[in-house]
Amino acid sequence: MTAPHQPWDLLVVGGGTAGIVAAKTAARLGARVALVERDRTGGDCLWTGCVPSKALLAAAGRAAEARRAATLGVHVSGVETDFPGVMRHVRSTIAAIEPQDTPEALTAAGVHVIHGDAVFTGPTSVEVAGDRIDFHHALIATGGQPLVPPVPGLAEADPLTSDSVWNLESLPHRLVVMGGGSIGCELGQAFARLGSRVTLVEALPRLLPREDPDAAALVHGTLEHDGVEALAGTRAVAVRGRPGEAGELVVDDDSGERVLPYDALLVAVGRRPGTGGLGLDAAGVDLEPRGFVTVDPQLRTSSARIWAAGDVTPHPQFTHVAGVHGSLAASNAVLGVRRRVDFSAVPRVTFTDPEVAAVGAPTWAHDGGAEPRTVTRQHVDVDRAQAESRTGGFSRLTLGVRGRVLGGTVVGPRAGESLAEVTLAVRKGLTATDLAGTTHPYPTYGDGVWNAAISEVQSRLAAPTTRWLLTRLVALRRAWSSR
């Protein structure tokens, strides 16, 4: 299996988003590139993450829309869930997107694909299936795996995770979800809308703990409306059950212990980096205490010729971050430039209904007084939301000196799309005046962000000094016009 063109200009270990983007970027720059993948190219996003979860959410959303159509005067009866049909939709979505990430597509882009487990044998070499492969530079892009916490009996019960839930063949009657973050809330709501009795358990005091509390409260309320029993501030104590069978999750909160019976148990409490078995010690690559690969601002590891990108690093674990940083690391490695990662505007979206989208500085740590401060517009004032009877949301901006946009949170349908201009505003240092002065299409949910910016401009115009100046200007104009 000796590969041609050794040593490679860039050897990429891992065929997920970070690895694929890095390999294609390096090939476009004229480098000789090889990518090693032990399983299937495409990574978690394609096979077990973004793509299947959004396909599942789409199916669940259609069911919910049919049930609430009566609020618009449309009465739909007999909504039933064909769970095998839903899973066929999920798999067909994966199949439609997969060709972009196949070994054939990579080969066509100039990347040599090697199948197998890569183990570093030194700072400039790896071994794959007994063969040595040399490189000038390497990129570690091995992603991560779902974390299963050390709750007594949990590992023995072999719970579902975001990797294995897609193997379900029938809809669980009773589903218990451990974890109230983005993945837990998304999957919990989807299964509830498809017909499962879902109980969601979160150890911290509220769901979506890293998001705006008002946004988390809206999601909590919608989950309960969809039939989810959402238990925040509740700790998992023990699991009693065997793989593939019904069991019980024992939880504890301020009122004492409680037993939650389940037909399926899903764990969604976070992810751990995929660094095991890579031989990183031999390569001189250091790990952080949590197991993530240590990188500098240019994504170089402690070994001068080895770089890392994606979920294997301590950076935000998002597909869009992995892609951007994969490209950055590849450019730095093969061109010798020193581009640095930029964390000023990293957007994130929780694809519940309503969606929660946020970027930049927090929108809940300020009181609206001294800089920075926040300005909010409820979506009851957004005409599109009124027309669709979807007013349970808001758009909130964090503003700094002279109204500079430092961050934002949008809650509502397609909030991720509405957040795009906020992300650009944060990245480019734009102000609320810039947003307010830009013509927006009407009527859209984007009016929420626009109206928030307009509110800021109007409040500045209402300030005493500004009002005095404006009054004087109007008086002068009136006098001149009367001549």
Per the structure, the count of domains in the chain is: 3
With contact defined as beta carbons under 8 Å apart, do 198 and 192 qualify? Answer: yes
pLDDT in tens, 57-75: 999 999 888 887 777 788 7
Beta strand pairing call for 118-122 and 33-37: unpaired
136 & 280 share domain: yes
Alpha-carbon Rg for the chain in angstroms = 26
140 & 166 share domain: no
Exposure of 234 by Cβ count < 10 A (0-12 exposed, 13-18 middle, 19+ buried)? buried
141 & 277 share domain: yes
- What pLDDT is recorded for position 1? 44
How far is 106 from 95, CA to CA, in rounded Å?
17
Q: Which residues contact 118 (CB under 8 A, 6 or more apart)?
A: 11, 13, 36, 38, 126, 127, 128, 133, 278
Residue 483 has pLDDT above 80, yes or no: no
Q: Is residue 193 part of a domain?
A: yes
Mean per-residue pLDDT for 184-209?
Answer: 97
Q: Which residues contact 423 (CB under 8 A, 6 or more apart)?
A: 345, 347, 359, 360
Q: Assign 478 a pLDDT band (cuts: 50, 70, 90).
A: confident
Q: Which two tokens stand for residue 406?
A: 């430092």
Q: Is residue 89 part of a domain?
A: yes
Q: Which two tokens stand for residue 446?
A: 């984007």
Look up the CATH number of the domain holding residue 192. 3.50.50.60
- What pLDDT is recorded for position 41? 95
420 & 449 share domain: yes
DSSP per-residue codes, 105-149: HHHHTTEEEEES-EEEEETTEEEETTEEEEEEEEEE---EEE---
- What pLDDT is recorded for position 67? 80
Average per-residue pLDDT for the chain: 93
Task: Provide the 10 A C-beta neighbour count for residue 76.
Answer: 11
How far is 8 from 305, CA to CA, in rounded Å?
12
Q: Is residue 322 part of a domain?
A: yes
22 & 132 share domain: yes
How far is 330 from 324, CA to CA, in rounded Å?
10
Look up the CATH number of the domain holding residue 446. 3.30.390.30
Residue 21 has pLDDT above 70, yes or no: yes
- What pLDDT is recorded for position 254? 86
Q: What is the largest CA-CA distance in the chain?
A: 95
Q: Is residue 349 part of a domain?
A: no
280 & 198 share domain: no
Q: What percent of the chain has pLDDT above 70?
A: 98
Q: Is residue 481 part of a domain?
A: no
pLDDT in tens, 130-178: 999 999 999 999 999 999 999 999 999 999 999 999 999 999 999 999 9
Task: Provide the 10 A C-beta neighbour count for residue 357.
Answer: 27
N residues, the chain: 483
The CB-side HSE value for 168 (13 A sphere, CA atoms) comes to 29
Q: What percent of the chain has pLDDT above 90?
A: 86
135 & 179 share domain: no
How far is 416 from 393, CA to CA, in rounded Å?
13
3-state DSSP assignment of residue 209: coil
CA dist list (Å): 456 to 89, 371, 376, 443, 460: 44, 13, 9, 20, 6
320 & 363 share domain: no
Mean per-residue pLDDT for 353-382?
Answer: 86
- State the virtual CA torsion across 142, 148, 149, 150 in degrees, nearest 10: -110
Q: Is residue 282 part of a domain?
A: yes
Q: Is residue 343 part of a domain?
A: no
20 & 115 share domain: yes
Give the pTM: 0.93
191 & 228 share domain: yes
Q: Is residue 107 part of a domain?
A: yes
Of 67-76, 91-100, 263-272, which gets the smallest average pLDDT?
67-76
- Which helix (DSSP H) or strand (DSSP E) does residue 267 occupy? strand 264-267
Where do we find the tokens 């401060």? Answer: 373
Q: Assign 369 a pLDDT band (cuts: 50, 70, 90).
A: low
Q: Assign 366 a pLDDT band (cuts: 50, 70, 90).
A: low
Mean per-residue pLDDT for 380-386?
Answer: 95
57 & 163 share domain: no
323 & 425 share domain: no
What residue numbers bound the domain in which 223 lies?
154-269
Q: Which residues contact 477 (CB under 8 A, 6 or more apart)?
A: none
Q: State the distance between the two ends of the chain, measured CA to CA, in whole angstroms.
A: 92
Q: Assign 4 a pLDDT band (cuts: 50, 70, 90).
A: low
Exposure of 376 by Cβ count < 10 A (0-12 exposed, 13-18 middle, 19+ buried)? middle
- What pLDDT is recorded for position 370? 66
* CA nearest to 13, candidates 323, 198, 274: 274
